[in-house]
Structure 1
Amino acid sequence: MAQQHTPRSGAVIGDRVVVRYLLGESTPADWRGSPDAAQSDVTGFLIDDADPVRLERDGEVVSIPAAAITSVKLLSAKPVRNKEIRALEGVAARSWPGVETAWIAGWFVRAGHGFSRRANSAIPLDMSAHPDATTLGRIAQWYADRDLPPLLALPERLLKASVVGGVEDVEVQMLTCDVTVLTGRLGEFGSDAVRLADEPDADWLAAYTGHRSGGDTDAARQVVTAGDGPPIFAAIVDAESSAVTAIGRGVVTESPDGRKWLGLSALWTDPERRRSGLSTRVLAALVAWGADHGADAAYLQVETTNRVAGAWYRRLGFGLHHTYRYITPDVPSPDPALREH
């Protein structure tokens, strides 16, 4: 997509989007048929992000010159209700809960020695959760008691970052796919070279923390082994060097409606071995394991700015479920006298 539009949407090829544009001789006619309209829009699936931008809408390909586009809005791959967002976020939180958790006024707060944003952030899972000053102060105090800064994970549809106020960090996309779809697309890739284990060994942890600044393998072990599950750990080891070249983590967690979800995380490949199919083999092994454990749907999280990974997941069949954003709330510093004892 034209460079001036991509940062606004985070969309990649395969996403469902709404493209708004200025009407002109080279643009599609206004679907409302209004002679006075200056702008119109098209909702469809992005099939080409060059110029012109092309969308597939009800079997028809629609082209829009990039210069005419005023905005691009990323949509869920299919309509999603807020209760479905809350349910899936609950599943994801239970599969990566850090090492200590609590509930504060409808917020699920978790701490994991500072390792990973997910394990050290508060998320509004209950419908009663609100970002009022008292609640945010309690959350900030809870984290201060653990020598951590307060961090919120805000699903966009449930609670907008602009309502809370503070310093916004990365936006993350929650992607989902039916396990049967993944099995069909990954079935041709062998997983014999993938080693599965119930616990992460030292090499797995070193690979996972090695690309993170200040990686703490002990904290990482506690975080990745916590939560509902138990999890499974996948790795590919080079036969010649005995070095770990690709890893991944899977865990099956049941949602309140009885659906079993396969959570995929910690997917990493040695930068020098990327584009060689290693990640695909790891994913194939984890999906097969998840299917054997009753999962019928899978989810993973990818930062919006990681367009290469995002596009790859779309090609495998994943689609956007919803987005969330991390934010450091603008709250007064907790009173040291109120720290837990």
Structure 2
Amino acid sequence: MTGADVEAIERATVAAVAPREALEIGGWLVALNDGTIRRAASAVPLSHKLAADPGVIEQIEAAYAARGLAPAFRVADAPGLQAVRAELARRGYGFEQPTLVKVGGAAGMIAAARGAAAELTQAPDAGWARVFTSEGFDEADGRHRVAALTRSPDAVYGGISEGDLTLAVGVAAFGHGWASVHGMRTDASRRGEGLAGRVLAGLATAAQARGVERIFLQVEEGNAGARSLYRRAGFTQAWRYFYWSR
């Protein structure tokens, strides 16, 4: 990943999860939001080579405090951010939830699908949203994610349905030269049937239609099933990050 790629991916990530407000402070993109989506409520450096500036971190903390929010940071474990991580630790922050940023291509996503690609719409409907609050998913978190992803600018929504029932969904958002995949969910009763792969293929088709081949996504390191799916679709790890909070 080049420095330009890192910045583009971070900007595209924050745009896709549509926080209520975003600021730029001293080389950081600061997403300000309530709710359960941590990418929409944390500050992320726009470079993997950034000095630790206590004054900048204080400004970020003040921005969260002014809005009644707890400060949080999303920091890659890249060597060039070691000083930043040390400064956060010195200030009483701890880290958790290791998450992988993975990159791939539209062609690989299409080739890996087992069955017809998902149908696409320009806006989510009630059936699409229902998957996020179905059995096995946290209802409050699902509502937050549906609301945020509905606000995503320049996005398409993929879904696999049988009759009136939507079984698997996902979103592709476009920006900064990349397509990004978000909100991948499959009804608990239908997992293991290749539905998620078909959703990925549909989203990749939309990317190719726009002339975009490069695609990224993010997945928690402990989610073995999702990582296996993305590996089959040709995604490889670009970097890993942790959330830092008090």
Range into which the TM-score falls when normalised by the shorter chain: 0.7 to 0.9
Correspondence for 1:198 among 118, 122, 138: 122
Q: Which position in structure 1 is the counterpart of 2:30?
A: 109
For 1:184 and 1:92, the matched residues in 2 are separated by: 25
Higher relative contact order (CA 8 A, sep 6+): 2
Aligned match of 2:13:
92
C-alpha contact (below 8 Å) 1:251/1:264 kept by paired residues:
yes
* Residue pair 2:128, 2:159 contacting (<8 A) in 1 also: yes
Gaps of 5+ in 2: none
Deviations 1:274-315 (A, max 9, x none): 001111111111111111011111111011111221122112
Mapped to 2, the partners of 1:181 and 1:285 lie a distance apart of 12
Q: For each residue in 1:146-188, what CA deviation from the matched residue of structure 2 results, as whole angstroms up to 9, or x when unmatched?
A: 33211111122242434421121211111111222323333x6
Q: 2:171 touches 2:182 (CA, 8 Å); kept in 1?
A: yes
- Specify whether residues 108 and 129 from structure 1 end up closer, same or farther in structure 2 by C-alpha distance, changes over 3 A only: farther
Counterpart AA for 2:156: I
Correspondence for 2:169: 247
Quick check: which one's helix share is greater?
2
SS across alignment from 1:215 = helix
Q: Distance in 2 between matches of 1:178 and 1:87?
A: 16
Q: Secondary structure at the match of 1:301?
A: strand
Which secondary structure does the structure 1 equivalent of 2:112 belong to?
A: helix
Q: Do 1:189 and 1:284's aligned partners in 2 also have CA atoms closer than 8 Å?
A: no
What secondary structure does 1:288 align onto? helix
Determine the structure 1 residue equivalent to 2:132.
208
SS at match of 2:69: coil
SS in 2 for 1:294: coil
Secondary structure of the 1:114 match is coil
Is the Cα contact below 8 Å between 2:158 and 2:199 reproduced in 1? Answer: yes
Distance 1:143 1:216, change over 3 A: farther
Secondary structure of the residue aligned to 2:81 is: coil
Please give the secondary structure, in 2, of the residue aligned with 1:189. Answer: coil
How far did 1:213 drift?
5.1
Q: What are the Cα deviations for residues 207-249 of structure 1, in whole angstroms up to 9, with x where unaligned? A: 22551253373x444421345x41111122332xx33211100
Deviation of 1:103 after TM superposition, in Å, equals 1.2
Distance between the aligned counterparts of 2:224 and 2:86, measured in 1?
Answer: 24
Where does residue 313 of structure 1 map in the other structure? 230
Alpha-carbon separation, structure 2, partners of 1:206 and 1:148: 29
* Larger Rg belongs to: 1
Change (3 A) 1:93 1:278: same
Match of 2:105 among 156, 178, 181: 178
Runs of 5+ consecutive residues of structure 1 not aligned to the other structure: 1-79, 255-259, 331-341
Change (3 A) 1:199 1:300: same
Q: Which amino acid aligns with 2:46?
A: L
1:281 aligns with 2:205: no
8 A contact 1:262–1:297 mirrored in 2: yes
How big is the alpha-carbon RMSD for the aligned residues of Structure 1 and Structure 2? 2.4
Residue equivalent to 1:122: 43
- 308 and 83 in structure 1: CA distance in 2 versus 1, 3 angstrom threshold: same
